[in-house]
């Protein structure tokens, strides 16, 4: 018989330790926390072939879309397409405070954040390579 079953049968089973959730400070103090950043990575495709990187940056920075979300940086790079005359694609990386990460994902995974007809999906950048989700 396994040791765990023996303990359970004898009533001497170990109780699980209670895990305490971390606390985030809110006091106004002269000490400052380190600002932690996260990347929201999205892959935008089915773009018009003449679309420029700056146009997607404008979409991301549009105040009607992101509201009061504070963006730290937006980067996008037009990929070389096999059918350049038909469409183009760009990975877009949006840097936000870690506290705003889930809000930013929610905002940029909505259709109203992007031009009509484009295809958007999340991806995770892994040391310079992209893994689509």
Domain containing 60 — which CATH number? 3.30.70
Q: What is the pLDDT of residue 108?
A: 93
* Residue 12 falls inside a structural domain: no
- The pTM for the full model equals 0.69
Q: How many domains does the chain have?
A: 1
* Residue 70 falls inside a structural domain: yes
CB-based contacts of 14, cutoff 8 Å, min separation 6: 7
* Residue 121 falls inside a structural domain: yes
User: Mean of the pLDDT values across residues 104-114?
Assistant: 91
* Residue 23 falls inside a structural domain: no
Range of the domain at 122: 38-132
Q: What is the pLDDT of residue 126?
A: 62
Q: What is the pLDDT of residue 19?
A: 86
Segment 90-93 long-range contacts (CB within 8 Å, at least 24 positions apart): 90/43, 90/44, 90/45, 90/47, 90/51, 90/53, 90/56, 91/41, 91/42, 91/43, 91/44, 91/123, 91/125, 91/130, 92/41, 92/42, 92/43, 92/44, 92/56, 92/60, 93/39, 93/40, 93/41, 93/125
Q: For residue 76, give the nearest of 62, 64, 94 by alpha carbon.
A: 94
* Residue 46 falls inside a structural domain: yes
* Residue 2 falls inside a structural domain: no
Q: What is the pLDDT of residue 14?
A: 62
Are 71 and 60 in contact by the 8 Å Cβ rule? The answer is yes
* Residue 95 falls inside a structural domain: yes
* Residue 110 falls inside a structural domain: yes
pLDDT tens, position by position, 31-44: 877 788 899 999 99
């Amino acid at each position: 018989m396994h040791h765990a079953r023996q303990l359970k049968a004898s009533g001497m089973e170990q109780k699980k330790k209670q895990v305490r959730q971390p606390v985030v400070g809110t006091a106004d103090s002269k000490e400052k926390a380190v600002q932690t950043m996260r990347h929201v990575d999205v892959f935008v495709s089915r773009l018009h072939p003449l679309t420029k990187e700056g146009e997607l940056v404008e979409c991301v920075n549009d105040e009607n879309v992101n509201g009061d979300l504070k963006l730290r940086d937006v980067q996008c790079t037009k990929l070389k397409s096999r059918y350049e005359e038909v469409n183009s694609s760009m990975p877009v990386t949006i840097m936000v405070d870690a506290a705003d990460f889930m809000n930013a994902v929610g905002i940029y995974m909505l259709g109203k954040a992007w031009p009509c007809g484009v295809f958007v999906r999340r991806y995770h950048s892994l040391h310079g390579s992209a893994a689509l989700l």
